[in-house]
Amino acid sequence: MLTQTMSTDAVQLIKNAQIESACNYLQFVKMSEHALTPTRESAEFAELTLRSPYHTTVPAEGKDVIPTDLQIKLPEGYYGRIVPTTDLASSPHISIGSVVVDAEFRGNLSVLLFNHSKYPYNIYRGDKIATLICDKIYYPELDLVERLDDTTWRGARGFGSTGLNILYNRFLKFYLCFLQSKRKQVSYVKI
């Protein structure tokens, strides 16, 4: 009986290890010969770089959906987020539309680029167009309640209300510095 329990435990450990190792892989398919393999700049980087498989132009003050010609299968319990690359994020004229990639999605992974400039923006084959981040997901159950508990600061104040506290603190620091500088000037005069 003890040997049977030990072997069942060993089998369960092997199954758990197989499931855990399967969770470490993001499977992908190149849908065309133009598709480029996602890359990680370093082993410690959280994101995978997505590159354009084609030359295209995002029109001035326009937008374009750029396919990567990649299909992905995210690890179980994860979802993907497509976010700007550092290069594009530092550009004042190019931005990326927010995209969430659900685990069930098997379409052509695409990137929505916005050009806020008055000039067309050229993208060449191999250019970095976005990064893909894989995050663990939590699926909460929905619970309809009559009323939510209050919070200490924000409460029902809307979008941007937390910034008011930051502005107030900055003003207060500025005012205190101003008062200290006045005291130093006054004490200097007295000496």
Q: Is residue 71 part of a domain?
A: yes
pLDDT at 155: 58
- 183: which 2 tokens? 């005291």
In the chain, how many domains are there? 1
Across 108-120, average pLDDT: 94
Asked if residues 121 and 94 have their Cβ atoms less than 8 Å apart, the reply is: yes
Does a structural domain hold residue 187? no
Instruction: Look at residue 145 and tell me if it is in a domain.
Output: no
The answer to whether residue 113 is domain-embedded is yes
Residue 183 lies in a domain: no
**Domain containing residue 131: CATH number:** 2.70.40.10
* Bridge partners for 134 per DSSP: 80
Alpha-carbon torsion angle 82, 84, 85, 88, nearest 10: 150
Domain that holds residue 96: 45-137
* Cα–Cα distance measured from residue 151 to residue 158, given in angstroms and rounded to the nearest whole number: 13
Residues 6+ apart with CB under 8 A from 63: 97, 112, 113, 114, 115
- Residue 96 domain-assigned? yes
Residue 115 placed within a domain: yes
pLDDT tens per residue across span 130-144: 999 999 999 999 999
Model confidence, pTM = 0.67
Rounded distance, CA 113 to CA 97, Å? 6
Domain annotation covers residue 155: no
Give yes or no for residue 93 having a pLDDT over 80.
yes
In 3D space, the residue among 133, 97, 108 whose CA is nearest the CA of residue 54 turns out to be: 108
* Each residue's pLDDT tens digit, 119-170: 999 999 999 999 999 999 999 999 999 998 877 665 566 655 555 666 666 7
State the Cα–Cα distance between residues 138 and 79, nearest whole angstrom.
10
